[in-house]
Each structure stands twice: as structure tokens, then as C-alpha cells.
Structure 1
Amino acid sequence: MKKLDKKTVFLDIDGTLTNFRGELPESAEYALREAAERGHDMVICSGRTYAQIYAWIREGDLFQGIVSGAGTVVRSRGEVVFRRYVEHEKTSMLLDYLDEIGSLYFLQGDSGIYCPRDRREEVLQLFGGTEETLEEKSRLLGRITFTDAPKDSPEVNKFVFYGAGRSIRQMQEDLGKYFTVVETSFKLGDTVDGEITMNGYDKAFGMQRYLDANGGRREDTIAFGDGPNDFEMLDYAQVGVAMGNALPALKKTADLVTDPVDEDGLMHAFQKLGLIL
């Protein structure tokens, strides 16, 4: 059997690599290790900022690279090879807008997650109403720092909002060309919830920066995803794989649909694509 050329495999986290309880299936860990031993690069490609990525991913040996903050920060073998943060005046303008439309919001950056201190009670209710449920959400999504000066939060890559008083489409029109507004993978109710990133910076952009740093080729890329911020990633890759639990629209655009994350979907796709036996 002909040996497969080296591939760079980009992997979303929530709903793809792990389930929404933050658990990595044993079959997925086996597939990752086996593929890496065969010479392929395993690269996280997540909307999560670096501070939000699980410690076992950041500090472990399963992955050769991390694209975080929806393409705004790229690490290769522990070294930062690209980073871009939201301009301070743009952050200030955006927070004024989100306050105006009555949205609860979080600033997400390389160093942490930030929220206005006077919105803490709203955060508590959003995440279940108790300190225990807030602690559980912090375990899954990252610890929140409540601050009196959210506009001065450092190293901001993106924003998440909940309960906006306007539609995603209207918000995009209001905010203009600097920002991109999409639905969030972590909807917590029937309200308008979403993510705001810098226009032009997405997972596909981060993928290219990783390849540039490592001499990789786009035609040797495979990407796995499940959610609304994975369309560009799957479209950019030579082979785009949607998990069985993915959005129906993402499945339609994918080159391959595998089983759900909790049904050994990652391993089955690795086998089908020849990354492992």
C-alpha cells in the first residue's frame, strides 16, 4: 500500500474533537497519536482563544500546532508565528454598541475572558443561576475575570454576546466592515447569541499562516468541524469533514460526513482517509 503524503489535519474542538462536556473519546486520542506517529501534523483550529483552550491540549503532546481566536493567533510547535488583536478604539466602539442594544458580552483574549463587573448577576443567571453552575461553565469555556474597565482588557481577539436586541444580520449591517458577526456554537436559549471577530480573520486565514510557517501545502490539508464558524475551514481544506452531529448546512458543504463525536466519528474518518489503519 502506497504511503500517504504528509497531511496537516486541522481540528475544531467543541463538537468535533470533544463532546460538549469537554470529553475526548478514547478512540479520538488513539487516532490522533497514531496519525502523528505516521508523520502527519495534528493542529487545533478553534474559535476559542488560547486562554480558553483546555490545558491538556495546550500542555500535552497530541498536537503540533494551535490556531486560536478564530485565526488571529497561530502557534507552531510551541512558538507563536502570527498574532493580531482588535484595535483599542474598535473595542471601545463595539462595547458601546453592545451596551446600547442590551446585550450581555464577553471579551475573549490570549490572556483571559473579561466581562463588566456590574453584569456579574446576569452572567450567573445565564449559566444556571448558582455559583456551582458558573464554576462548571468556567471549566468548559474558560474562567471569567469581572472588571470595572472592560475597554482596557488586554490582547482581545474576539467577542461573544448573548441576548442581543437585534438580529445577527442587523448587527452585521450596524457594525460595518471591521467586524464579522456569526451565531455561536454555544447557544444557551432562544435569544440572539453570537460571536464577533475581525473581518478577514477566520479559521481558514489561520490555517494558511500555519502552513506558511511550516512549508505545508493547501492540497495536503484535511479539516474537521461541526459548527457555524467551521464553514471557511472546511471550504479551505483539500478535504473537509463534517461530524455526524454537525449543522445540516455544514454537512451539505463537506466532502465527507463521519459519525458523531461520541460515536467514534473522528477515528472512523481517520481510517477512511488513510491517516491510520
Structure 2
Amino acid sequence: MKDKIKAIFFDVDGTLYSHRFHDIPESTKETMIKLKQQGYKIGISTSRCRYETKNLPRFFREFPFDAAFYDGGALVMEKDQMIHKAPIDKNALKKLLQMAEKDQIPLRYSTVEGDHFAYPCDWQIKDNFFKLYLNMPIVKPYEGEDVFNVLAYPKTKEHLEKIYSMHEEVNIVEHGDKTMEITAQHIDKSKGVAIMADRWNLTMDEIACFGDGYNDIEMLKYAGLGIAMGNGKDALKEVADIVCDAIDDDGIYKICRELQFI
């Protein structure tokens, strides 16, 4: 396995970044440095937009990642170069926004430069958002920009069903915490992996991916080696090749040692 894998992609929240401590575990930092020294290409795959990574720890912001997928795979970058973008179809987006405004479903949307709430929303949503990301989108009506990722917060089963009615126009992931993540049709984190594999002339068998959430399922299924965190969702563990220990139990360090990556 050590000689087979050439590139490793990590989800961020719950995989690299612990919300319990609002930091990257020291063992994970050590592992990432050693992986780079061993010559592996290292990337991140996150549903955060670029703006939402600005308050992550200094180690993360300064680490020399080879690639990054933001917005759930809709925006793909190699170092500082944007190499692929897949915004949500604007007709579908306008339909979603009109539905949300009519039914008062809070929406946060992200662009290349930032993230915004489409309409004023409850303080509970703002509070939970800040606890996760340590930043707060401002309220700004949509003005026709390219949008790469939407978070919807349905309040009722009817709201949920209305959003799911758009499943043929957009990609939808339900996170199980009254949050729905919406990207362009057929876009998920696995698409970023495929793009970088082609760019680096790698096969999928040469790529390992780590994750913990529902939006990591397709990525782990697609990777040559899919590793679910011990703190991850059960549905993700079911498709993973390996389940390592939890993020706060040095899971990444232990499995990378076991697989002789470091």
C-alpha cells in the first residue's frame, strides 16, 4: 500500500480540524509534514468556500497543499491556480431562492470571494454557523454572481420535500442536522479527485481519501483507498475501505503509521 498511494486528500471539518478544540491535532500536523517529506501530494476537499478557511489555524493556512477542492468539489484549485469551477445553474438557483424566500427557508450561498445569507435568518442558525466556522456571512440578496455551494436550513418536512423536488436540477446532500448542502448537478467531492488525478496522471488506485461526513461518501467510494474517521457518519463507514480512530484520538496519525505512509 505504501508504494501504491501517490496522493492523499483530506476533508477538513471533523477530519483535519477538530471542532472540539478549534484546532488541528498535533499528531495530525506531524503526519501532514511527514507525508509531504515522503513525497505524497496532499490536498484538501471541503464544503467550505475559500472565505470560510480564513479563520482556520495558522498551520492550515500556511501548509503547502498541492490542491484544494472548495464548495463540495465545485471549485478546484492547484496551489493558487483555479483550474475548474462548476457553479449552480442560474435558473435552478433562482428557482431555489424564490422558493426559499416564499417559504422563509434560510439560505447561505457562496461565491468565489465570500459567503452570504440570502435573507435575514434566525439567531440560532447564525450561532451554530459561527460555532462551526468562526465567521459569519452577511445578509446580501443574490445579484447574479456565480454560486458554487448553498446551505439550506429547512424548518419543516414540507420544506425538505420542496428542496428535494429539485434533485434533477442540483446535487443535494442532507447532513442530518437540519442542514442541506446544494451544489451543481452531478458535482460532489469525487469530481475534484477525478480532475486532479487526470492532471497528475494518476489512477484512482493511487489516491487515498479521508473523510467523516455524508458529503464524503462519493469521494471515499471513488478513491482507491477510502478511509473514514472513527467519529464519522455510519453511512460513510459502510462504504469505506478502512475506518480509523476518531480525530481526537490521533486517528490520522495512527492509520498512516499502520499503512506505512510515514
Return the TM-score normalized by structure 2. Answer: 0.89
Asked whether 1:261 is paired with 2:247, we answer yes
- Determine helix, strand or coil for the equivalent of 1:23: coil
Identity fraction in percent: 25
Corresponding letter in the other structure for 2:92 = K
* 1:52 positional shift: 1.5
Q: Partner residue of 1:7?
A: 6
Asked whether 1:233 is paired with 2:219, we answer yes
Q: Is the contact made by 2:106 and 2:118 (CA closer than 8 Å) also made in structure 1?
A: no
The count of corresponding residues between Structure 1 and Structure 2 is 259
Distance 2:11 2:84 in 1: 19
* 1:85 positional shift: 1.4
Is there any run of 5+ residues in structure 2 with no aligned partner, and where?
none
Deviations 1:198-228 (A, max 9, x none): 1211000111111222222211010101111
- Determine helix, strand or coil for the equivalent of 2:69: strand
Higher mean displacement: 164-173 or 83-92: 164-173
Deviations 1:22-49 (A, max 9, x none): 3100000100110111010111011112
Higher mean displacement: 83-92 or 102-111: 83-92
Q: Is the contact made by 2:126 and 2:136 (CA closer than 8 Å) also made in structure 1?
A: no
Asked whether 1:194 is paired with 2:180, we answer yes
Distance 2:147 2:60 in 1: 19
Higher mean displacement: 77-86 or 2-11: 2-11
Residue in structure 1 matching 2:200, options 184, 201, 214: 214
Q: CA RMSD in A?
A: 2.4
Asked whether 1:35 is paired with 2:27, we answer no
* 1:12 positional shift: 0.5
Q: Is the contact made by 2:74 and 2:183 (CA closer than 8 Å) also made in structure 1?
A: no
Distance 2:6 2:159 in 1: 36
Deviations 1:102-155 (A, max 9, x none): 3111112221111135x15x2x23334xxxx87x44x725431212xx221633
Distance 1:108 1:60 in 2: 23
Q: Alpha carbons of 1:85 and 1:152: their partners in 2 closer, same or farther (altered >3 Å)?
A: same
Return the TM-score normalized by structure 1. Answer: 0.85
Distance 1:58 1:263 in 2: 19
Distance 1:153 1:53 in 2: 24
Is there any run of 5+ residues in structure 1 with no aligned partner, and where?
none
Q: Is the contact made by 2:47 and 2:73 (CA closer than 8 Å) also made in structure 1?
A: yes
> After superposition, where does 1:176-191 map in structure 2 within 5 Å?
176-184=167-175, 187=177
